[in-house]
Amino acid sequence: MKKLVTDLRNLPNKLIYSIIVLFSVFIVIYAYFILSWSIGMDTKLATYGLGNSEYLYPLHTQYFLLDRPTLAIITYVLGQVAIPYFTLLISMSLLFVSAIIWMVILTKKNFSIIETLVFCSFYLISPIYIFQFNFVNQAIGISIGFVLTSLAIYHFSLILNHDCEKFKNYVASIVYLFLCIGIYQSFIILFAEGVIFLLILEQLKNIKTNLKVIISILTKILFVSLAALIGYLLISKVIYIFIGESHYLANVYEGWHSNSFSEVIKTPITLLC
């Protein structure tokens, strides 16, 4: 973390001024979404205490049941119910923090201010944010997940840059990724995509990377991902001993395992057509 703080202080002044302008534009763009208060249908029951008591638990317990221990802890600490407008404002601000971490990563890769700002502009307007943050009870947790994913990618980029504290960066990257998966399992995909994206950028920057180096980088990605995933699965097994498994997850897994491979592939194709 000290390394990140140092890198933040070393950002060019022009980029810092640009960050202030970009944040202002970012908030204006998302103003309608932030001010249009609504509750996602999946969280109505938990918010207002309605529904079948057999399936209804406190929100943090539901997240434990859904294999999201980090999100459960965040929800327990911050409270069970979202605060109108404030929750989404904090969520979008945290998302912008993750973009700032990406600015640090790209600056260390010797990208220009224009290139960095263009990337972050596209990063901040992905449709996935509207979809995820519509479930307002988990919006802050999800935005923290984006910050943690960016931190995991940042420390992994230091490994690729042959930073002298390689062991610490491995540990930091694994821990941050472990926490991300505990918020939402798909963050492991975002991590892998982010690191591979950096590898592609190096190729576009005419940095010669032979096949041996590429295989080495992919092996490191696999190692960090597996280490974080194994830790996450072990924690999940321990949690299930005390709380049990979600009916939702049990039904999904049972359906996938009981159907043939052709049926699993055929079903979504049929629905799309």
What predicted TM-score, i.e. pTM, was given to this entire model?
0.81
Is 131 within a domain?
yes
Whether residue 156 contacts residue 195, with contact meaning beta carbons closer than 8 Å, is answered with yes
Amino acid of residue 161: N
Is 189 within a domain?
yes
Is 137 within a domain?
yes
Q: Report pLDDT digits (tens) over 54-87.
A: 455 677 777 887 788 899 899 888 876 777 788 8
Is 64 within a domain?
no
Is 55 within a domain?
no
Structure tokens at 3: 């390394």
Lowest mean pLDDT among 55-59, 140-144, 160-164, 182-186: 55-59
- Average pLDDT of the chain is 79
Is 158 within a domain?
yes
Is 46 within a domain?
no
* Main-chain phi, psi angles of 29, to 5 degrees: -60, -40
* Main-chain phi, psi angles of 265, to 5 degrees: -75, -40
First and final C-alpha spacing in the chain: 49
Is 223 within a domain?
yes
Q: Report pLDDT digits (tens) over 174-231.
A: 999 999 999 988 899 999 999 988 888 777 776 666 777 778 888 888 999 999 999 9
Contact partners, residue 139, CB within 8 Å, separation at least 6: 82, 87, 88, 91, 132, 133
Q: Structurally, how many domains does the chain consist of?
A: 1
Instruction: Check the CA dihedral 199-201-202-207 and report its sign.
Output: positive
Note down the domain range covering 199.
Answer: 2-36+73-251
